[in-house]
Amino acid sequence: MKLKPIGIINSPYKKREDAPRQGRYSDEISEITVFDEYVEGLQDIEHKKHYYIFYWLDKADRDKLKEIPPGKTEEKGVFSIRSPVRPNPIAMCLVEIVKIEGNKLTVKWLDALDGSPLIDIKPFWAETDCI
The conformation of residue 83, written as its DSSP 8-state character, comes to -
The conformation of residue 34, written as its DSSP 8-state character, comes to E
**Which residue, among 30, 43, 31, 37, has the nearest Cα to 5 in the 3D structure?**
37
Q: Which residue of 36, 82, 102, 115 would you call a contact of a second copy, by CB under 8 A?
A: 82
Q: Which residue of 3, 14, 16, 18 would you call a contact of a second copy, by CB under 8 A?
A: 3
Q: Taking CB under 8 A as the rule, does residue 15 contact a second copy?
A: no
**If binding means CB under 8 A, how many residues of this protein chain bind a second copy?**
57
Amino acid residing at 96: E
Yes or no: say if 105 and 112 are a contact pair by the CB < 8 Å rule.
Answer: no
Q: Taking CB under 8 A as the rule, does residue 48 contact a second copy?
A: yes
Q: Which residue of 43, 70, 71, 101 would you call a contact of a second copy, by CB under 8 A?
A: 43
Q: Taking CB under 8 A as the rule, does residue 73 contact a second copy?
A: no
Q: Taking CB under 8 A as the rule, does residue 18 contact a second copy?
A: no
Q: Taking CB under 8 A as the rule, does residue 72 contact a second copy?
A: no
Q: Which residue of 16, 59, 66, 99 would you call a contact of a second copy, by CB under 8 A?
A: 66
**Which residue, among 84, 105, 123, has the nearest Cα to 29 in the 3D structure?**
105
Q: Which residue of 16, 27, 80, 102 would you call a contact of a second copy, by CB under 8 A?
A: 80
Query: Positive or negative, the Cα torsion across 124, 26, 86, 41?
Result: positive
Yes or no: say if 128 and 14 are a contact pair by the CB < 8 Å rule.
Answer: no
